Each structure stands twice: as structure tokens, then as C-alpha cells.
Structure 1
Amino acid sequence: MRLKLHLCSAGTACKRCGEEQYSLEELRDKCINKTEDFLQWTDPVSIILSCLVVFAIIVTIGFAIIFIHYRTTPVVKAVGGYLCFLELLSLLCCFCLIFTFLGKPKKGTSCFGMPLFAIAFSLCISCILANLFQILVGFKFDLRVDSWIKKLNKPVAVVIIVSGIQLALSVAWLIVKPPVIMKEPDTHIVLHQCQIGTESTETGFYVAMITYNAFLGLICFLFAYKSKKLPDLYKNAELITVSMVLFLIIWIVFLPLYFTLKGKYRPAISSAAILISSFSILGCHLAPKCYIMLFRKELNNDRAITEYIRKHYELKGISVVQS
């Protein structure tokens, strides 16, 4: 206090500065606004992420057009039929939500990117899970357990229940303790950022949301791994296994990195995790199907599937009756 009075003793009155202001040692009677800091759109990281997102959106729309054109073919039915369109829509939403992490956060829904992503991505995984049920039921010949497995083979019910649980978690989070814009003042800088996990309630909802999606990914991985031994011409189960492994690795790395990293590039970590997760499904699960529809049309017919299944069981010494 003595130092402050000494510096202001030259006929001037000291001035108290606000939280977003500071004063120089030689100018205690003048307040200077602190520099605002956030992940700007012109930042190289934002530009790279934006370019990748735009590319992903274009590819997703292109895939949707291809699937619509070949919607009655066996390869589209093998990937879930109408479920693949819901899967593509959810991936498109995931890519678009990345833009909410870039730029200066504003009041309203700019901090709702992560809860909305959790809902969209769980919808995507639920479509994959329903498709895996269809594959398992299609080749399940054990009559003792066939009846109860068939009861689970309700794609619409699976999608509604699985994604509905995540929807309930996310809505509860937004109602009880939604993420808000926080200003973290430093010496000469004010960091504008959506803060998640600053309180135990927020952390609990956030971890529960991520853990649930990881649990769904693990279930899909186990189902897909079990289905790898089935005669699958389009390698659906193998590709799902790869995409789910990538998804689980990404989020195992992301969580500790997110909670330890500070600064304006924290939203970029979230954006990168969402981008890679969505790309893993788009590239591993759906892209090979588009390749078959465009460049391997000889595989996209019922005769090719029948012949593949026949050879699969003949190699195992099981005779197949042809109609």
C-alpha cells in the first residue's frame, strides 16, 4: 500500500481498475484494457480444422447422394438400409458442430457443442449397433437362442433406446449445470472460453456422457469382433471393429489431455477429437461401401453374396442347399 501511495503522490489520484483492466507501474492513474484471447478464426489451427470440416461435409453429402442412388442394392441393405442415412445425418451434424468450438464464444448456445455432439454421435453408434444385430441374427442358426435374439433385432427400438439414454444425460446436463462462457483473467490477457468441468456436477455429467459413448463403442467392437467369423462379403464387421478401436483410442487420449491443457487451444483439442472420431466411421465403415458401389459393381448383387456364403461354408465342410 505504501508503494501505491508513493507512486501516486505526484498530485494524481490512484484509480482502481476493473477485472479486465490493468495499470502500469508508472501510470497508476490510468487503466488499460486487457487483451482478449480466444481461438480466432484466422488462427492457423482454426483454418486447418475448418478446411478439414468443409472437406468432411462435402464428402458426407457425396456419400449420401451415392447411397440414395444405390439404395435398393444389396450393399446398402448390408450396411443397415435406411439406418445408413440416419448414420450419415448424425455424422454430418458432428462435423458441423465443430464450428461451435472455433472463434469467440457468444451467449446462447455456443457452448452446447459437446452435449450436442454426444447426442449426434450416440445416434450414429446406435445405427451401427442395430446393423450388427441384423448381421448376427441373419446368420444365427442355434434354435435354442434364436428366439430371444430375434426379439432384440428391432432396429428402430435399438436406435431409440440407445440414443435416448444419451439424450437424457445431455438434456439433464444442460438443465442442471450447462456449460457457460468463462473469462479467465491473466496479468494482461482475458481468455474467453466455454468452461466444462470446473465443478464436480459439470465434471460428472461430462465424464458420464463421454463414458457412455465409449461404452457403446466397446459394445460395437465386441459385437463386430464376434461377427468377423460370419460370411460377410462386404467386410462390415471388420471395418466396424477398426473404426471402434480408433474411436476408443482417441477418447482415451483426449480426456486426460483436455483436463490438463490450459489456454486458447483447448477447444481445438475437442474439435480434433470429434473430427477424427467422425472420420474414423466415415472412412472405415461407409467409404468402402461407396467404393464397391462405384468401382466393384460386380459385387453389388445377390448372386455374388450367395456365392460368397456358399464358398465360406464349403471351406468349413458345411454343405449349403441351393434353391
Structure 2
Amino acid sequence: LAFLEWHRVPTILVAILAILGFLSTLAILAIFGRHFQTPIVRSAGGPMCFLMLTPLLVAYMMVPVYVGPPTVSTCLCRQTLFTICFTICISCITVRSFQIVCIFKMARRFPRTYAYWVRYQGSYVFVAFMTVLKIVIVAGSLLVTNTSPTTHADPDDPKTMILSCSPNYHKGLLFNTSLDLLLSMMAFSFAYMGKGLPTNYNEAKFITFCMTFYFTSSVSLCTFMSVYKGVLVSILD
């Protein structure tokens, strides 16, 4: 039986990138925590920054779930924990890009609506709603798909049997990713609307670039997963 192992070069590279990402995110959290009361951190989102970065730490720690022989528990983790953490993060980015625009446009044109948004913590309500929606989507996906490990022949070597999560798992994964793609398009749209904002609010430019990169990589990943059925596809899940 073949499955993704730690000694493979792609696995080592992904593990190194995950460690670097974890340490850099942890360092940013520590810096933000130490300077939480400063205007720079407050203007960057304040508590929203911690809500966005903490799920990233959890996502980076999910790498071991994708390595080694898959089990029912690891397959469940692949389809639940990482995707929910990522949705929380991208929801924060989406609402942040919306706030950048609404500060200048919504507050001026719809002052009462903007007042309600601020009074009732609209940003956190949005993130909570998207998180609950993602949990419902994931739960529904788990009910209609089988996440038990199965075996299938390696397309490159029919004599080798690949042990992986159920083929239906990938269908559920693509279904779960649809909400993230929608959020990324919303974030891109809001950020693009703010391209004419003052230089001090140049976050919109970085959000536009990041969402473009994410959308492009997601489309490429889905295309690759639809045509490649080998062992290495596990590390791209």
C-alpha cells in the first residue's frame, strides 16, 4: 500500500513551509499582543487580527493529519478542521476589506446603517454567521459522503495500491471550498472598490493581490486534483 510518507521531498517541503508559517504567524500575534493599545494595531483591526491569525496557527498544525496512512479520524479532520479555520480567516479578511470601503462610502451615504453596523458589532456577526454556515456545509457534506479510507490502483503503476480517503471525500472538499471562493471574490470586490482610497489605507491593494493569488491557486489546485490521482494529491488537499 502506498500513502504519503514523511521522507518524501514534497512532504518535507510542505512541513518546512508550515513550520515557518506557524512561527511567523505566532511572532505577529506576539507583536500585536504586546502593542495592542497602539494606534497602528487598533487601525489594523484590533481584536479582529487575533481572530484572523489564531485559526491560521491551527491550520498550520494540520499538516501531520495529511501524512501517514489515512484513518477515519484523519479523514474527518481533513474535511473539517482545516476548512473551518480557513473560512474564519478569510471571513475576517472579507469583512476587513468591506470596512475599509464603508468607512469612506457607507458612513457618508448611509450614516444610520453604518451606525447600526458599529453598534451591533457587524463585523463579528458576519464572521460568526459565515463560520456557522461553513459548519452546516461541512456537516451536510459528511452526511452524504463517506470518509472511510479506501484503496485504488496508482495510475502510473497499476501494481501499486494507493491508500487514501474515499473518492467522495474530494467531492465534499470541493463543495466545502465553494464558500471560501465566494468570500474571496467578495473580498476582492470590496478591496477593488477601495483602490482610490488615500495612501494610508493601502490595505486594499494587498487584499486584492492576495485574493487574486488565492483564487488562481484554488482553480489550479482543483484542476490538478481532477486529473491527477496519485499519492501526492493528499498533500494538496
Tell me if TM exceeds 0.5: yes
Alignment match, 1:159: 127
> Are 1:253 and 2:228 matched, yes or no?
no
Question: Once the 2 structures are TM-superposed, how far is the Cα of residue 163 of structure 1 from its aligned partner?
Answer: 2.1
Q: Do the aligned residues in 2 keep the contact of 1:112 with 1:179 (CA within 8 Å)?
A: no
**2:22 matched residue in structure 1:** 57
Q: Does 1:70 align with 2:35?
A: yes
1:73-92 to structure 2, matched below 5 A, reads 73-92=38-57
Query: Does the Cα contact within 8 Å between 1:214 and 1:248 map onto a contact in 2?
Result: yes
Structure scoring higher RCO (CA < 8 A, sep ≥ 6) equals: 2
Matched, 1:169 2:159: no
Mean alpha-carbon deviation: is it higher for 224-233 or for 184-193? 184-193
> Are 2:71 and 2:148, in contact at CA under 8 Å, matched by a contact in 1?
no
Q: CA deviation at 1:150?
A: 4.2
Change (3 A) 1:142 1:67: closer
Which sections of structure 2, spanning at least 5 residues, go unmatched? none
Q: Does 1:112 find its partner at 2:72?
A: no
Shift of 1:124: 0.5
Distance 1:141 1:171, change over 3 A: closer
Q: Distance in 1 between matches of 2:124 and 2:181?
A: 21
User: What is the DSSP-based 3-state SS (H/G/I as helix, E as strand, rest coil) of the residue aligned with 1:183?
Assistant: strand
TM-score, normalising length from structure 2?
0.88
1:209 equivalent in structure 2: 176
Unaligned runs of 5+ in 1: 1-35, 271-323
Within the alignment, does 1:181 sit opposite 2:155 as a pair? no
Q: 1:151 to 1:133 in 2, by over 3 A?
A: farther
Change over 3 Å in CA distance of 1:241–1:138 after alignment to 2: same
User: Hey, what does 1:192 align to over in structure 2?
Assistant: 163
Q: CA deviation at 1:243?
A: 0.7
How many Å apart are 1:71 and its aligned residue?
A: 0.9
CA distance in 1, matches of 2:212, 2:123: 23
Give the secondary structure class of the aligned counterpart of 2:164. Answer: strand
For 1:189, what is the secondary structure of its paired residue? strand
Measured after TM superposition, the shift of residue 51 of structure 1 is 1.2
CA drift at 1:179: 2.1
Q: Point out the structure with the larger helix share.
A: 2
Q: Deviations over 1:54-74 (max 9, x none)?
A: 111111111110111111112
Matched residue SS, 1:184: strand
- TM-score, normalised by the number of residues in structure 1: 0.66
Secondary structure of the residue that 2:70 maps to in structure 1?
Answer: coil
Query: Cα offset for 1:43?
Result: 1.1
For residues 180 and 133 of structure 2, the distance between their equivalents in structure 1, rounded to whole angstroms, comes to 10
Q: Distance in 2 between matches of 1:143 and 1:269?
A: 44
Mapping of residues 93-108 of structure 1, within 5 Å: 93-108=58-73
Contact conserved, 2:55 with 2:88, CA < 8 A, in 1? Answer: yes
Which residue in 2 is equivalent to 1:147? 112
Give the secondary structure class of the aligned counterpart of 1:45: helix
The aligned residue for residue 221 of structure 1 is 188
Following superposition, the deviation at residue 142 of structure 1 comes to 6.3
Task: Name the counterpart of 2:210.
Answer: 243
Per-residue CA deviation, residues 181-208 of structure 1 (Å, 9 max, x unaligned), is 111256542211113437xxx72x4333
Aligned-partner residue type, residue 174 of structure 1: L
* Change over 3 Å in CA distance of 1:150–1:242 after alignment to 2: farther
User: CA offsets per residue over residues 251-285 of structure 1, 9 Å max, x none?
Assistant: 01111111210111111222xxxxxxxxxxxxxxx
State the AA in 1 paired with 2:23.
I
Q: Which secondary structure does the structure 1 equivalent of 2:61 belong to?
A: helix
Aligned residues: 231
86, 89, 96: which one aligns with 1:121: 86
- Check whether the contact 1:140–1:146 (CA below 8 A) recurs between aligned residues: no
